[in-house]
Structure formats: structure tokens, C-alpha cells
A and B are shown apart, each in its own frame.
Chain A
């Protein structure tokens, strides 16, 4: 269980983390989402005692990281995949950390096998690809078999097989009852991995909800309507409180009404309906919708993402 309360961190004039509060529950994978520069890594570094907050607290199972008696047995974290000396052999790197955490040497071979690095354990870690580096980082995090795990962008640099492996691992760890907190800017990845998400933008909490609720909140209120005499329906739908948008293909996008209501209105107007489909937003679209105001570096490109998609235009 991770508890963050009013966490605030300032770097010079920039408020990297701004009065952030949330909990991360055990037993599920919790995604930590936000655009680049939103403050995800800073929050994780504050949780891990690598940086000191200006205000507020970040605790793990009720303790600040600094006060954990046996930190490697309580929390495992992969922040920067290359947090090792390139000249040191992979096994030696793990042996060093095991010594620091008073963890038996045999556990080093266990975690090497767990991440599939046993064949390259005697290679200098500097020769590793980014994917192997990620695996070595995960091995280090699992050394103490901890109940709380933090991963910062764990699938960066992994090949497709590695991504599936990492996702399976995180879900298995959560299924064992551990707290698994995974930061990412890849919504599509989190949609597959996490069942709960915490979304931040510019250091502030934007959303703390289950993935299902997040998707639901952003969708369901958009209906695509295809009818031969659609134009006759527009004013009636607007009278019922909907916003209507005409698509290039002649269909209508109806915002603000349930599909059933739209169907009833069409029936009352005596208009034949050829298609009536509620549109679901993807997590990606829900995220874009949430963070549109908070993206640190706006692209100058013309079409704003989401505006072209029906769900993106839907206001919950």
C-alpha cells in the first residue's frame, strides 16, 4: 500500500509535483499515467527517498522509505534501467545489491533465472541492450521478494516478446497480492496491463479511477446515427439537449444522449434508422481528453489529437 499526501516538490521556479495525493492498493496493477514532464519520475523518486519533498509525505506501508528497516525486502523499484556500472558483470551487480540488503547469494541466481539472464550473467552489464538492462533492473527489484514494486517506464526498449513478458510478470506479481505501481506514457500499454490508473499532468492529480470507469466516463454519451433522412432529425435531437455533428459520410454524431433516447426520437419522427451505435472511447482517447490542458510541450502540428475522433469530442 502506497500513500501519497499533499506531495509537493519544486525545482527552482518549476513546480514538478503539486499537492499530489493518492493511494495505490495491493492486488492490482496500478498505472501511473501522464504526459512527459508531468512529474511521474519525480513522484517515484520522492517515494523512494531519492529526492526530498518540499511539502507532504509519501509512505510505503505506513513508513517513509528512509525509515524502512529492510528496504529491499519491502520495496523493489526499477527507475532508470541503466542504474548499474557498465564495467561490472551482471551477476556481480546483483551480488553487490544482495550484500547491501543482507539477502542470501542464492537469491541472485534465482532472480537471474526469473528474468532470463542466467546465460549472460557473467557478461559486463555495459554490453547489454536496453531490453536486457530492463531485465537486470527488474531482477534487482525482485532480489528482496518485496510486497511493493515500482516500475518507471518498464517496457521502454523491450521487444514485443519482452513487453508481453513484463506485462505478464507485473500482473502475476499483483495477483500474488503485491502492490504494483507502473508509470508509463503509453496508454495502450497501460490499457492492457493496469486495472487502476492514476493520471497526473503538470504535477497535479487529474484522475484516480479504475480503467473501466475512466473509459466509461469518456464514452457512452456519443452515438453514431445513420439514417436516410437524418437532416430531419437534427432539430429534434437538439431540442432534446443533444449536440449534433454531421460526418462527411452522411452519418450524424450525437453527443449527450443515450442510444435508446436517440432511437425513440427517430421513431417518433417517423425516420428510418439504418445504424445506431454507441461509441466507446479507448483509454488512449480518455487520457488525451483528460490531459489536453496539461501537456507540457504542445506539438505545433495542426490537428489536435482527439478532435477528429467522436469520443475525443465527448465531454463526460
Chain B
């Protein structure tokens, strides 16, 4: 049986590459990281999600700063109660955008079917998750810090136009708060990444994240206070927020212990997600 293509001959089907099979270099974690970075760069979802986050963190915050300052001036107030808090008002929603990006980093692969190609190229699944975590952490941290500082300086400039005392980087804990939002956003995004790995479904993972940050803490506060107080105090996202607050207030956890609480939760979540990723059929 001869089988030659009838029309414009397709290129010779015989692989002709000179470099031999099997003997090639063995891929390492660095190669998996390169692949994950290439994935992030070559889709529009990452830049679009980060642009949305920037719009919320910088744009929405600026709008709120302007509106609040304007209102207070008209009301004849001589100070803003929490000027830094106003400047950073957009971060609550910005955090959600980081979580969505974290979810997409994994759930994208399941919704498209790419996951089987990924796991065939890198059957060491823990390495795949580690590479995703590393690439996402670096990307989210850099983006988060850039957004947080941009937001701070722009918000400061807006409030400085009004006769209110406003926070500056030399004030105690202001830098920690600004840096802190970048860290919290990164860790929040990693919660999304863990949820995406566990649930393998974009909508389900995002819904779980929203429930976890915004809804569950409220529901739990309805419990008797002997229960709800410690839960509220140590709830990962609440505890992580200590890092962004200027004063410790009535809380048990200091800023960095609070961040540690959130980090510990992220580590446990990713550990469970990694274990399931390795054990489950893809």
C-alpha cells in the first residue's frame, strides 16, 4: 500500500533532527519554572487580571481618597480618621483579583485539557506545583508591591491637597503597611492557587475563595463569642491583615505573627493540594 499525499506534499514526515533521542539533558525544576513562566507570559489572562487588580488598587483607591477628602472638607472636619486606610481602600477587591489569578494558574489547565500535556512533560507532579507556586509568588509579589507603592504615593498626593494631616513613609509602620499589602495579596493569591489545585474548576475555586475571605468570617462571628473570638483572631485572612494595620489595637497577634498565621495556612493548603495532585488521577 502506497500512501503518498495527493496534493501539495506535506513536509517529509520523517523526523530529521540530528540530536539523538533519550540521551538528551534531563529536565530539572529550573526547566519546569521556565515552562510555567512561559505559560504565564503567553496568555492574556495574567496581564488582564493584573491590570484589573491595578485598576482596583490604584484607581478605586484614588477615587475613594478623593471622595472622602472632599466630603470631610465640606463637613468642616479637621482630620481624617484613618487616612492610610482610605488610601488603601481598593485593596479589599484587589486582593480578590490576585486570588482569581492564583486560581486561573491551575484551573486554566484543567478547563482547557492542557493539564495532561503538562503532566506528560513533567510527570513529577509535585515539581509542577512547586514551579507554579514559585512563578506565581514572584510575579504576584512584584506586581503587588508596585501597585501598593503606586497607590500609596498617588493617594498621598490626593489627600495632601486637602488641609488634613496625612501619613508619610517616615511615620511608624506606614512602610510596613504598604509592603504588607503586597505580601497579603501574594499569599491570598496562593490561597487561590491552592483552591484551584484542589477543586480543578475555575468557578468553584473562585466561589470558595470569596466564601473563605468575605462570607465565612461573618457567619462564624454569629457563634458564641467564646468560639468566635479566637476564630476571628486566627482566621488566616483576618490575621494576615494585621500586617497592613498601623496599630495592633485589641488583637493578640502582632503584625508579623498575623502574617505568619496566614503563611502557615497557605503552606498547609498547598501541602494538601500537592498531596492530592500527586495521588489523584488527572
A residues sitting closer than 8 Å to B (CB atoms) are: 45, 48-52, 65-66, 68-75, 77, 79-80, 82-89, 92-93, 95-97, 99-104, 107, 110-111, 113-116, 140, 142, 144-147, 161, 164-165, 167-169, 171-173, 176, 192
Contacts and interface: CB of A to CB of B under 8 A. Distances in A.
Contacts of A147: 21-22
A87 B44 contact: yes
27 contacts: A45-B281, A48-B116, A50-B119, A52-B279, A71-B123, A73-B23, A75-B120, A80-B116, A83-B116, A87-B44, A88-B42, A92-B38, A96-B35, A99-B34, A99-B35, A100-B32, A100-B118, A102-B27, A104-B19, A113-B11, A114-B13, A114-B15, A116-B11, A145-B21, A161-B6, A161-B7, A164-B5
Contact of A100 (B13, B27, B116): B27
B17 A110 contact: yes
B123 A165 contact: no
Contacts of A85: 39, 43, 108-109, 112, 114
A97 B116 contact: no
A97 B120 CA distance: 10
The listed residue with most A CB atoms (<10 A of its CB), out of B5, B6, B28, is B5
Contacts, number: 160
A172 B21 contact: no
Contacts of B17: 107, 110, 145
B222 interface: no
A102 B13 contact: no
Interface string B1-40: 1011111001111111101111111111001101100110
Contacts of A140: 117
A51 B123 CA distance: 11
Interface in B101-150: 108-109, 112-124
Contacts of B22: 70, 73-74, 146-147
The listed residue with most B CB atoms (<10 A of its CB), out of A68, A75, A82, A99, is A99
A308 to B, nearest CB: 27
B24 A51 contact: no
Contact of B24 (A80, A89, A102, A110): A102
Interface size class of B (residues with CB under 8 A): 35 or more
B282 interface: yes
B27 A167 contact: no
Contacts of A101: 27, 31, 121
B27 A92 contact: no
Interface of B: 1, 3-7, 10-17, 19-28, 31-32, 34-35, 38-39, 42-45, 108-109, 112-124, 279, 281-282
A199 B195 CA distance: 41
B114 A83 contact: yes
Nearest to A66: B123
Contacts of B26: 69-70, 102
A127 B27 CA distance: 31
Given A50-B282, A70-B27, 4 more contacts: A70-B25, A73-B22, A96-B38, A165-B10
A70 to B, nearest CB: 5
Contacts of A72: 27, 120-121
A115 B10 CA distance: 7
B123 A49 contact: yes
B58 to A, nearest CB: 26
Contacts of B21: 73-74, 144-147
The listed residue with most A CB atoms (<10 A of its CB), out of B4, B13, B114, B116, is B13
Contacts of B7: 161
